Structure formats: structure tokens, C-alpha cells
């Protein structure tokens, strides 16, 4: 049965803003990425006495939390003593979660001054893409996303069936041996399932099969189950391997690529390649499309092979590389220009490149990882400043 994504808990976790204000007279005045100084200045100007007090108390609590956090992470990542001490010092100096310093390999205050931290992503996202937070996001609603892709001629896998409020609408017979069923809302590869399409001859049979195998207690969509391109099938395992492309609109409202990553599952039986749970993200060289090294969401260890089976991916060409990046740019500019910063999941298959999903709350932490990013940190901050000013 398909399970729903817990949206209430997800949004609750993303709500608080840990305000990174420096002490009075410090320069720069805010211990944040340079592209966010105007953003924080506006918040400080509008804050009343009680909110400013809350910011100060949060800062004090954060600084008190840092030593224990740094010790735990140093042990988990097997850091040598000198690196552990440097991580704690940098975290104190720049109001930085030690985990960010470790996984992003930040070593200097100058590097940290260009980095958007994990605990401020949500606040920035609310400025860049308010649709995600006010209930009007057509990326979060997978049926609405499919409809917009269809209007603009983007290659999105057809919806064979949709379940909404307990009612299943069978739309067309599958052309693959299996259907991939996923929740209508939510991210992270949570609650997905596979349903056999064997023996189906009419829409009534399709509806009956889905009601039996997927259930109708939560909203979902069903599409043909796609398979990874043959050139990467040996490292992709069972899950469809997709490419995450992050784009942001520039001064001319054209989409610029921030970073690109091939996502691979590291669990043989997993159905999704998501890096938040069972996957790793692998860098792609901008000029050649060759795969580089990869790591998991909260890992500092780098891989050149899939840990699940030992198959080497480093140095391989990413299949349909140029088609992938061109489609991501086209999707942003032609179909979704009302979103400022997006993460696109695209699947190269033997037949073509498919646009699988768009993410209006795409991870900024992942986009900034050194092995994934294409855009220089200075340019990233310039575009953040520009985009925030537009809103």
C-alpha cells in the first residue's frame, strides 16, 4: 500500500529560523553568506524587541550546543584532533553547524562566508519560491506538475492513473511490465511502490489492480516504471537512477546551472535513488559529462564505486549528458519561469531523457557540495542577492 508523506512534520521542522547576527559593531554585521546580508538586515529592522531577544537567546543556545555537537561529529567522521579543533573554531567564528564544515570541507572563514547553511535553507526558500510554502506549488503536486509539463511539451512520463480523495481514475493502459506508484505530494522517495501491469487489457482492470495493490487511502499517481540507461544499469541497482540539476534564474531571467549530480541507490532492494535515505550523489564534469566522485547526504567519505556492489563509476560518461542539462534549462525557462531556484530530476533511459520531477524546495546544501557544484560560490551569492531583492 502507498503511504502518505507526513507534510505537517516536514513543515514544522523547516519553520524555525536560527538568526546568525554577529555582536554589535562586528564586520560583516551578519555571520551568513554574503548574498544573504540584505535579507538578514531586513529581518532585523522589522523585528520587535521580543523577536530580537529570541534571536539573541537562540544564538547563545547555539554556541553552547557547538562543543558537544563538534565532538560527536568528529568521532563519527574519524577526524584527526587538529581537524576536529579547526572545525569547532570555524563553527564558532562563523555561526556554522560543524556538520556543514565537515561535509562541505570548509577550512577558512572566507569559504564559510560564501556558504548558505543547512538551518537557513527554509527561510531562504520561502523568499525564492513562496509557492512551496503557501499551498500553490505545482511542483509539489505531482498531477499538477504533469499537467504543466504536458502544456509545454516537456517529456514527462504519462500518468496512467491518479488516486485523489479515495477515487482512482484510470487514464491509459501501461506500456511497461510494471507501474511505479508514488504519493501525490512529498519528497524524498518516501512511500513509493511497484505494481505489476501483467495481463491488463482495459481501464477497469487497471483500476481494480491498483485499488488492490496500491490502495486508495492516500493520494498517488501511477506511471510506467522506467529503467536506468544500460550504460549505468550495473551501478544503478534496482532503482531508477536520475540526475539532479539545480538551476537559478539570472539577471536576464535565464536559467543558470548551479550544480549537477547523478543519484545512485546504495541499497539493492530500494526502489528510489534519493540521497536523503539510501543514495549517493555523484559529481559530473561540466565540459565532458564524465562522472567524478560521490557521497551521501550527511557523509564526508567520498566514493568512486557503488558501495553496494563495488562497481566503478568514476570516469564513466553520463549517458545523454547534454540532453539532460538542456532539458533542465528548458523546463525552468519555458514551463516554470515563476520559480526562482529549482532542482530537476531527470532520467536518462535507453530511449530518451525523461523529466521526472521538479523540486521548489531543492537542497542548497547539496547544491554547494564541492564535488557537485558547477557555479562558483561568488556567482551563487550574487544570484541569491539578486533573487531575494526581486521578492
Same domain, 345 and 206: no
Cα end-to-end distance, the chain, whole Å: 41
Three-class SS of residue 290?
strand
Q: Indicate if the pLDDT at residue 312 is higher than 90.
A: yes
Q: Indicate if the pLDDT at residue 30 is higher than 90.
A: no
Please report whether residue 327 resides in a domain: yes
Check residue 18 and give its pLDDT: 65
- Of 195, 224, 253, which residue constitutes the final position of a domain? 224
Please report whether residue 136 resides in a domain: no
144-150 contact pairs (CB < 8 A, 24+): 145/357, 145/358, 146/221, 148/335, 148/336, 149/331, 149/335, 149/355
- Of 224, 243, 277, which residue constitutes the final position of a domain? 224
Distance (Å, whole) CA 59 – CA 44: 14
Same domain, 162 and 215: yes
Domains in the chain, number? 3
Same domain, 220 and 327: no
Same domain, 244 and 372: yes
Please report whether residue 321 resides in a domain: yes
- Of 209, 224, 239, which residue constitutes the final position of a domain? 224
Distance (Å, whole) CA 254 – CA 293: 29
User: Which H helix or E strand runs over 169?
Assistant: strand 167-170
CATH of the domain at 338: 3.30.470
Q: Indicate if the pLDDT at residue 4 is higher than 60.
A: no
Strands 220-224 and 255-265, by their bridges, are unpaired
Distance (Å, whole) CA 184 – CA 186: 7
Q: Is the model's pTM score more than 0.75?
A: yes
Q: What is the mean pLDDT of residues 366-381?
A: 92
Distance (Å, whole) CA 96 – CA 264: 29
Q: Indicate if the pLDDT at residue 275 is higher than 60.
A: no
- Among left, alpha and beta (phi > 0; psi -120 to 50; other), residue 189 is left
Same domain, 281 and 379: yes
Check residue 350 and give its pLDDT: 96
From residue 185, how far is each of 4, 140, 150, 165, 347 by CA, in Å? Answer: 8, 6, 19, 13, 20
Provide the pLDDT confidence category of residue 315 given band limits of 50, 70 and 90: very high
Q: What is the mean pLDDT of residues 103-114?
A: 92
CA–chain centroid gap for 116, Å, is 14
Same domain, 216 and 295: no
Check residue 69 and give its pLDDT: 95
Please report whether residue 374 resides in a domain: yes
Same domain, 183 and 209: yes
342 vs 120, residue with greater confidence: 342
Which domain range does residue 166 map to?
Answer: 158-224
Please report whether residue 119 resides in a domain: yes
Please report whether residue 143 resides in a domain: no
Q: Quickly count: other Cβ atoms within 10 Å of residue 268's Cβ.
A: 12
Q: What is the mean pLDDT of the chain?
A: 89
Same domain, 114 and 192: no
- Among left, alpha and beta (phi > 0; psi -120 to 50; other), residue 289 is left
Please report whether residue 2 resides in a domain: no
Check residue 256 and give its pLDDT: 97
Phi, psi (rounded to 5 degrees) for 255: -80, 125
Half-sphere exposure (CA, 13 Å, Cβ side) for 91?
28
Distance (Å, whole) CA 259 – CA 371: 9
Distance (Å, whole) CA 160 – CA 197: 11
Three-class SS of residue 375?
coil
Check residue 122 and give its pLDDT: 81
Same domain, 252 and 384: yes
Same domain, 240 and 369: yes
Same domain, 237 and 216: no
Check residue 267 and give its pLDDT: 85
Distance (Å, whole) CA 98 – CA 330: 37
Q: What is the mean pLDDT of residues 195-222?
A: 95
Half-sphere exposure (CA, 13 Å, Cβ side) for 368?
26
Distance (Å, whole) CA 366 – CA 121: 11
Check residue 278 and give its pLDDT: 67
Q: What is the mean pLDDT of residues 225-245?
A: 94
Please report whether residue 150 resides in a domain: no
Check residue 189 and give its pLDDT: 61
Q: Indicate if the pLDDT at residue 300 is higher than 90.
A: no
Distance (Å, whole) CA 99 – CA 276: 15
Check residue 292 and give its pLDDT: 96
pLDDT in tens, 138-175: 999 999 999 999 999 999 999 999 999 999 999 999 99
Q: Indicate if the pLDDT at residue 186 is higher than 80.
A: no
Same domain, 253 and 382: yes
Amino acid at each position: 500500500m502507498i503511504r502518505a508523506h507526513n507534510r505537517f512534520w516536514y513543515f514544522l521542522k523547516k519553520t524555525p529560523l536560527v538568526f546568525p547576527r554577529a555582536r554589535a559593531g562586528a564586520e560583516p554585521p551578519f555571520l551568513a553568506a554574503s548574498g544573504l546580508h540584505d535579507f538578514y538586515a531586513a529581518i532585523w529592522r522589522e523585528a520587535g524587541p521580543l523577536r530580537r531577544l529570541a534571536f539573541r537567546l537562540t544564538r547563545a543556545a547555539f554556541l553552547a550546543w557547538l562543543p558537544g555537537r563538534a565532538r560527536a561529529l568528529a568521532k563519527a567522521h574519524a577526524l584527526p584532533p587538529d581537524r576536529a579543533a579547526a572545525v569547532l573554531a570555524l563553527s564558532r567564528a562563523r555561526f556554522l553547524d560543524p556538520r556543514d564544515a565537515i561535509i562541505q570541507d570548509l577550512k577558512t572563514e572566507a569559504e564559510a562566508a560564501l556558504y548558505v547553511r543547512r538551518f537557513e535553507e527554509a527561510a531562504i526558500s520561502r523568499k525564492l519560491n513562496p509557492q512551496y510554502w503557501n499551498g500553490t506549488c505545482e511542483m509539489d503536486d505531482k498531477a499538477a506538475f504533469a499537467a504543466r509539463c504536458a502544456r509545454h511539451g516537456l517529456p514527462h512520463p504519462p500518468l496512467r492513473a491518479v488516486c485523489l480523495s479515495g477515487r482512482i481514475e484510470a487514464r491509459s493502459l501501461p506500456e511497461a511490465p510494471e507501474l511505479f506508484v508514488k504519493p501525490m505530494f512529498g519528497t524524498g522517495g518516501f512511500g513509493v511502490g511497484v505494481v505489476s501491469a501483467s495481463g491488463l487489457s482495459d481501464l477497469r482492470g487497471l483500476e481494480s489492480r491498483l485499488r488492490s495493490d496500491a490502495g486508495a487511502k492516500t493520494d498517488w499517481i501511477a506511471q510506467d516504471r522506467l529503467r536506468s540507461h544500460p550504460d549505468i544499469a550495473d551501478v544503478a541497482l534496482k532503482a531508477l537512477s536520475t540526475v539532479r540539476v539545480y538551476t537559478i534564474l539570472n539577471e536576464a531571467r535565464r536559467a543558470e546551472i548551479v550544480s549537477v549530480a547523478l543519484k545512485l541507490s546504495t541499497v539493492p532492494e530500494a526502489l528510489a535513488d534519493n540521497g536523503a535515505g539510501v543514495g549517493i550523489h555523484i559529481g559530473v564534469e561540466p565540459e565532458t559529462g564524465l562522472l567524478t566522485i560521490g557521497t551521501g547526504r550527511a557523509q564526508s567519505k567520498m566514493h568512486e564505486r557503488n558501495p553496494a556492489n563495488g562497481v566503478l563509476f568514476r570516469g564513466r560518461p553520463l549517458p545523454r549528458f547534454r540532453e539532460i542539462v538542456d532539458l533542465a534549462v528548458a523546463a525552468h525557462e519555458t514551463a516554470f519561469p515563476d520559480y526562482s531556484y529549482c532542482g530537476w530530476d531527470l532520467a536518462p533511459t535507453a530511449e530518451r531523457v525523461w523529466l521526472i520531477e521538479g523540486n521548489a524546495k531543492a537542497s542548497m546544501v547539496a547544491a554547494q557540495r564541492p564535488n557537485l557544484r558547477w557555479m562558483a560560490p561568488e556567482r551563487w551569492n550574487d544570484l541569491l542577492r539578486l533573487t531575494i531583492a526581486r521578492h
